[in-house]
């Protein structure tokens, strides 16, 4: 089975359209799942959810989805400085107050976790577990530099065994590690990459006797996204952020 995994679209409709177009153009993908954070930071939260629903793409709730759905105090995002914190609150307020009731309802219905059996439930394992950020809390960042001990603790929470795969997003930086036979796959971000590459990113995970991970980057209409952000009440900073692939602005 080959799964296309898309995460952290963050209301960037042009990026989502390009990624789905890219997935559609290949014939080797058996299923598509999203790993949460459909909304926030860009002006198309309803349109993004509409497209995900129209395509019937199942997935899990990210921190932005569950906080928007519940009207929580903040989006559960991490900030590196006071300016980022201020921007993050502006984005959350914008999103929370603008999304339709229909969108909120859809976000509220997303599960925290999805378990798949790529070879079928009639044989034991392997398993593919989909979460947004972390098996217990979507505000914890599972970064590539986490020690093996941390990764194995997380894997144990999901009862993962050798041969199993855990896929997630949330950090917006793609990475793949294998620890004691367990594959950890961060799919990167469709609509708000933070690794310096502005192109939309997704992962294709193939599970057979072995696990193979392919990272794909897709060019999209960045100008359309940046213009729409600048034309909206969202902070203009978010347009520059997309253009720089999440890198800090030159001073
Ligand atoms: Fe995110």
Read off the pLDDT of residues 172-229 as tens digits, 9 standing for 90 and up. Answer: 999 999 999 999 999 999 999 999 999 999 999 999 989 999 999 999 999 999 999 9
User: Distance between CA 54 and CA 39 in Å, rounded?
Assistant: 16
Q: What share of the chain is helix, strand, coil (3-state, %, to 5)?
A: 35, 20, 50
Find the mean pLDDT for residues 111-125: 93
CA distances from 3 to 96, 104, 147, 170 (A): 31, 27, 27, 18
Classify residue 203 as exposed, middle or buried by CB count within 10 Å of its CB (0-12, 13-18, 19+).
buried
CA–CA–CA angle 206, 212, 214 (5° rounding):
90
The Cβ of residue 57 has, within 10 Å, a number of other Cβ atoms equal to: 18
The Cβ of residue 223 has, within 10 Å, a number of other Cβ atoms equal to: 11
Find the mean pLDDT for residues 152-162: 97
The answer to whether 60 and 131 have CB atoms below 8 angstroms apart is yes
User: Which one-letter DSSP state was computed for residue 248?
Assistant: P
Q: What band does 251 get if pLDDT is binned at 50, 70 and 90? A: low
**Residue 164 CA to ligand 1 centre (angstroms):** 24
**Residue 10 CA to ligand 1 centre (angstroms):** 7
**Residue 8 CA to ligand 1 centre (angstroms):** 5
Residue 216, SS3 per DSSP: strand
Find the mean pLDDT for residues 64-75: 93
User: Distance between CA 8 and CA 60 in Å, rounded?
Assistant: 11
**Residue 62 CA to ligand 1 centre (angstroms):** 7
**Residue 123 CA to ligand 1 centre (angstroms):** 34
User: Distance between CA 37 and CA 3 in Å, rounded?
Assistant: 19
pLDDT of residue 78: 81
């Amino acid at each position: 089975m080959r799964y296309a995994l898309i995460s952290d679209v963050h209301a960037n409709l042009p990026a989502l359209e390009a990624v789905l177009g890219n997935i559609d153009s290949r014939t080797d993908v058996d299923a598509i799942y999203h790993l949460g954070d459909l909304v926030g930071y860009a002006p198309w939260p309803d349109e993004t959810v509409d497209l995900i629903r129209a395509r019937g793409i199942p997935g899990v709730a990210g921190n932005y989805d569950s906080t928007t759905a519940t009207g929580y105090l903040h989006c559960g995002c991490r900030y590196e400085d006071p300016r980022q914190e201020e921007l993050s609150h502006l984005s959350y307020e914008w999103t929370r107050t603008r999304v339709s009731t229909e969108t909120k309802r859809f976000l509220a219905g997303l599960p925290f976790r999805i378990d798949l059996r790529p070879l079928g439930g009639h044989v034991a394992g392997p398993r593919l577990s989909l979460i947004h950020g972390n098996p217990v809390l979507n505000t914890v960042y599972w970064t590539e530099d986490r020690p093996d001990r941390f990764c194995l603790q997380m894997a144990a929470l999901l009862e993962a065994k050798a041969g199993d795969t855990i896929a997630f997003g949330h950090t917006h930086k793609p990475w793949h590690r294998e620890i004691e036979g367990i594959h950890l796959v961060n799919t990167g971000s469709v609509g708000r990459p933070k690794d310096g590459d502005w192109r939309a990113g997704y992962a294709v995970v193939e599970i057979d006797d072995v696990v193979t991970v392919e990272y794909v980057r897709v060019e999209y209409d960045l100008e359309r996204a940046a213009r729409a952000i600048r034309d909206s009440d969202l902070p203009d900073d978010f347009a520059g952020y997309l253009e720089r692939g999440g890198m800090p602005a030159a001073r």
